[in-house]
């Protein structure tokens, strides 16, 4: 669009920052001394300042002289469990003393502990506890959030969680994609009756979807979760409604979860530390994104790396997310997740940034964000950095100078 004639003023224009557009399949596609314009919630110009058709103040209602820094697409956190009540700091202490995640779960802790606290909270109380977590993610550059249910494990409380997730998006002015994760754990009242519980999960899905509360469906397919046959039933219920599926897959062992979600054309397989070469091939054929969750890897002190070389060799896109949850990844910064992905998984800073933008958007089935391109959503962040690698270099700190979602400045 360089040099294009503008017939209607843009709402905003930023000039004088470098742009990491992430166009194409490699590199930052950087533009120095760039200009980024938008009207409404869409980008209208991406290019060099010198290629603007007119003087900046004649092109846009608001013009910002950036005076340096970098602009990237808004970050997309494509895997969170941030709606919950209470915390599990006590379990953190137990793990430091050598108790395993699986043992804690078998003792009645883990997910079921958070279920009890979440069930006891009213919808407004749950919102009040969850909003600060979402606000922290947004303040550090996230402009799209995925939020799962899964700490209610009955119809009313799963519905409550999904309603709170929608209210978070409305409160903060960001898009929240909701994922129904009724098949997260077996509630106490169904112990020994997992198949019966899966019946209920499949019954809850249509009315929740009819209320506009479900954008995708997930499950926890692990030896302490649900088996492949039970997961398949949940996916078949989702397919009947035309809902995309994703899966907590192969985190604790190779359970063929990645292959199963790929069989259903799933948008993502998440964790994937133990995914086999056959599972990677199935993901590649299906176009399923591998969502890396280094926060859980870090907190649980895991040692089994995801099959990163195989993902690269077979062209499986790799996303990065916080997995923000009270038990295994109490992580409130997607930028910190990027840093952990570089440190633990040896991703390059460019891979990590793509993982938290364009590939994360793909993991949510979204093709209207994740890069700086005319016509995409005006979701972008202006960072106080001299080079993009700093987003993965600094451990903490406030680097975001301004965060915009849909053309609206959030911070």
**Binding site for Zn(2+): which residues?**
79, 81, 248, 323
E-assigned strand segments in 211-361: 216-221, 246-249, 268-271, 289-292, 318-320
E-assigned strand segments in 331-383: 380-383
**Binding site for Fe(3+): which residues?**
79, 81, 248, 323
**Binding site: which residues?**
79, 81, 88, 151, 184, 248, 251, 323, 325, 327-328
Cβ partners under 8 Å of residue 354, min gap 6: 22
347: which 2 tokens?
Answer: 């991703």
Please answer whether residues 132 and 95 qualify as being in contact, where contact means their C-beta atoms are separated by less than 8 angstroms.
no
374: left (phi over 0), alpha (psi -120 to 50) or beta: beta
Distance between CA 28 and CA 389 in Å, rounded? 10
65: which 2 tokens?
Answer: 């002289």
**Binding site for 4-imidazolone-5-propanoate: which residues?**
88, 151, 184, 251, 328
**Binding site for N-formimidoyl-L-glutamate: which residues?**
151, 325, 327
237-257 burial, b if ≥16 CB within 10 A, otherwise e?
bbeeeebbbbbbbbbbebbbb
């Amino acid at each position: 669009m360089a040099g294009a004639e503008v017939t209607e003023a843009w709402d905003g224009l930023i000039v004088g920052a470098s742009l990491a557009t992430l166009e194409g399949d490699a590199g930052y596609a950087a533009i120095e001394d760039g200009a980024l314009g938008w009207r409404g919630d869409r980008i209208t110009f991406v290019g060099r300042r010198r290629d603007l058709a007119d003087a900046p103040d004649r092109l846009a209602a608001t013009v910002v002289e950036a005076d340096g820094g970098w602009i990237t697409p808004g970050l997309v956190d494509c895997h969170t469990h941030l709606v919950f009540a209470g915390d599990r700091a006590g379990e953190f202490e137990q793990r430091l003393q050598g108790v395993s995640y699986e043992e804690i779960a078998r003792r009645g802790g883990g997910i079921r502990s958070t279920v009890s606290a979440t069930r006891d909270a009213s919808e407004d109380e749950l919102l009040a506890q969850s909003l600060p977590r979402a606000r922290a993610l947004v303040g550090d550059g996230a402009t799209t959030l995925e939020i799962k249910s899964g700490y209610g494990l009955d119809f009313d409380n799963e519905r409550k969680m999904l309603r709170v997730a929608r209210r978070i998006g409305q409160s903060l002015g960001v898009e929240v994609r909701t994922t129904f994760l009724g098949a997260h754990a077996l509630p106490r009242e169904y112990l020994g009756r997992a198949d019966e519980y899966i019946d209920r999960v499949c019954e809850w899905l249509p009315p929740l979807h009819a209320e506009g509360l479900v954008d995708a469906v997930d499950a926890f397919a692990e030896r302490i979760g649900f088996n492949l046959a039970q997961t398949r039933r949940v996916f078949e219920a989702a397919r009947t409604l035309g809902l995309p599926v994703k899966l907590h897959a192969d985190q604790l062992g190779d359970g063929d979860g990645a292959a199963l979600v790929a069989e259903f054309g799933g948008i993502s397989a998440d964790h994937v530390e133990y995914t086999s070469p056959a599972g990677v091939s199935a993901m590649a054929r299906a176009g399923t994104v591998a969502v890396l969750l280094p926060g859980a890897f870090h907190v649980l002190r895991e040692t089994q790396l995801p099959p990163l070389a195989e993902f690269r060799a077979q062209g499986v896109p790799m996303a990065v997310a916080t997995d923000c949850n009270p038990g295994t990844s109490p992580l409130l910064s997607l930028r910190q997740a990027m840093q952990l992905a570089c440190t633990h998984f040896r991703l390059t800073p460019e891979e990590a940034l793509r993982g938290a933008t364009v590939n994360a958007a793909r993991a949510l089935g979204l093709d209207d964000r994740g890069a700086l391109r005319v016509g995409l959503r005006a979701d972008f962040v202006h960072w106080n950095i001299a080079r993009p690698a700093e987003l993965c270099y600094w451990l903490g700190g406030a680097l975001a100078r301004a965060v915009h979602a849909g053309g609206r400045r959030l911070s």
